[in-house]
Every structure is written in C-alpha cells, then in structure tokens.
Amino acid sequence: MTHKYQSISLEIEQKIMNGHYNNTGNKLPTEEDLVNEYGVSRNTIRKAIDTLVKKGFIMPVQGSGMFIRDVSMKNSNAINLENFRGLTADYQYSKIETKLLEFQEVKATKKIAEIMQCNVGDDLYFINRLRIIDGKKWVVEYSYYNKQYIPFLNKEIINNSIYNYIQQALKKQIGYVDRIIEAGPLNEKDAKLLGLEVGDPALISTNKSMFKSGEIFDYSIDVHNYKYTKFLKLSNLL
C-alpha cells in the first residue's frame, strides 16, 4: 500500500525540512541524480516531486533546477490548506487539549441529509468540542459523523484524533475534503468559549469529508479564534 513515489516524496520532504539541501543553493538534486539515488525511473521521481510542488515545498524551473521555496510563510504557523489532516496532525508538536461539550446520537434533518447525501432520519453522531492549543482557546468544532460509515465513537477517541481513528482502526482512506472559508461575527456561545466578545470576528471553516470512494462521512463547522488561526494556500498556476 506504500508506493515508491510516496516514500521518495516523504523522504525528500523530510530532507527539505531538515535543511539537508541548504548548502546546495536551496536546490534539489537534478532529476537524473534523483533517478540514480533512488534507483527508479524518471517518471517516478517526477511523480514524487509533483506532490511536493502541490504542497508548495518546491518550485521547479525549466532549464535551471528545482528550488526549495522560501519557508518564511510556512513558518508563520499558519495551517497549510494543502496539508490539512486535522488539528492533531497539524499541531503535532504542541499540546492539544480537547473539551468535549456535547456528544450524542441524532437523526439527520432534511438540511443535514442533503449536505451529507444521506437519508432523512439516518443515524449520526453529533459532537461539539472546544480545542485548546498550548493553553490557547483555538477553535470550537461542531461535527456530524454518519454512523453508517463511522459505526462507533467514544469519548476517548473523540478526545484524541477522530481522523487517526478512521484511518488506523477503521482502515478507511480519507480521499477528499471540501472546505468553505469565510469570516463572520461571533455569537454569544462561541465568543464565551473562545474568550472573546460577541460580534468579534471569527474565521469559519465549513467542511465536508469524503472517503476515497466518495461517501461523505463528516460534515463540520469550525469556528476559529481569529487571533490564532491562519490558513496558508500555496498555489502553483502551472
């Protein structure tokens, strides 16, 4: 299940992060060198590189080489939208606390059923959590999980990473995440939870998560503390 291009991509990414290429003019070895180093075809190297380009780590310039992109923005502790795999993965070097505010089974309303492409009345888990990172009240999350795909959840799983549970215990591959990002005024409840004032700005992300095979298993609304959360989008238009 782990392919050549995946492990090569990961290894190069780690080398970039380690500063392994800092003394080579912030350039990666040429494709030919990588072909020899890893003993694979040029296509495979290019596929490995592709994912790093997508993530915004490198900038290939035809005729010149593959340059490691400036990490100043990456270091601004913004969440890279290309990398996003849940708070637990994104802030793996920080202390994450979770306050479980609500956890219950509910039936899909017409509106939710439409969004999650399930039937009205289907069983869902509803979860409301406050996430605290390094002592800072970071985000209030409202999530619905389709019980048809996530048949069991408990407080322990919820207090850790639901995404890890899905991937490791359920052995399901998360394929797609659709996310709408907007700003809006905080309501009383969220303001109180985040330690802010009513009407203060919030960075709101509304998300739909799908398995590789397309089924929507999660719909969630994340109300972020505007003082902490930033999203980073590294686009390449080529």
Partner DNA sequence: TATAATTTGTCCGTATGTATA
Partner DNA sequence: TTATACATACGGACAAATTAT
Q: Which residues bind its own copies (CB under 8 A)?
A: 54, 56, 59, 61, 64, 67, 69-70, 73, 76, 78, 81-82, 84-85, 117, 173-185, 199-204, 208, 210, 212-214, 224, 226, 229-238
The CB-of-168 to its own copies minimum distance in angstroms stands at 15
Nearest distance from C-beta of residue 46 to DNA, angstroms: 6
Q: What is the enclosing helix (H) or strand (E) of 65? A: strand 65-68
CA gap 142, 149 in Å, rounded: 18
Strands 201-211 and 174-185: antiparallel
Alpha carbon 209 to chain centroid, angstroms: 10
- The distance of closest approach from Cβ of residue 77 to DNA in the complex, given in angstroms and rounded to an integer, is 29
Which of 1, 135, 171, 235 is the binder for DNA (CB under 7 A)? 1
Q: Per CB under 7 A, does 25 bind DNA?
A: no
Q: Which does residue 42 touch among DNA, its own copies, none (CB within 5 to 8 A, set by kind)?
A: DNA
Nearest to 84 by CA among 157, 181, 168, 151: 181
Q: Are 139 and 225 in contact (CB under 8 A)?
A: yes
Tokens of 191: 């303001």
Residues 34-73 that bind DNA (CB under 7 A): 39-44, 46-47, 60-66
Angle at 157 between CA 144 and CA 226, to 5 degrees: 60
User: Sign of the CA dihedral 72, 75, 77, 81?
Assistant: positive
User: 92 touches which of its own copies, DNA, none (CB within 5 to 8 A by kind)?
Assistant: none
Q: Which residues contact 26 (CB under 8 A, 6 or more apart)?
A: 67, 68
Could you say which of its own copies, DNA, none residue 178 binds, taking C-beta under 5 to 8 angstroms by partner kind? its own copies
Is the Cβ–Cβ distance between 144 and 219 less than 8 Å? yes
Considering the complex, what minimum distance in angstroms separates the CB of residue 75 from DNA? Answer: 25
The option from its own copies, DNA, none interacting with 46 (CB < 5 to 8 A, set by class) reads DNA
**Two tokens, residue 225:** 């503390």
Among the residue ranges 27-35, 160-168, 181-189, 197-205, the one whose residues contact DNA (CB under 7 A): 27-35
Binding site for DNA (CB under 7 A): 1, 3-6, 28, 30-32, 39-44, 46-47, 60-66, 212-213
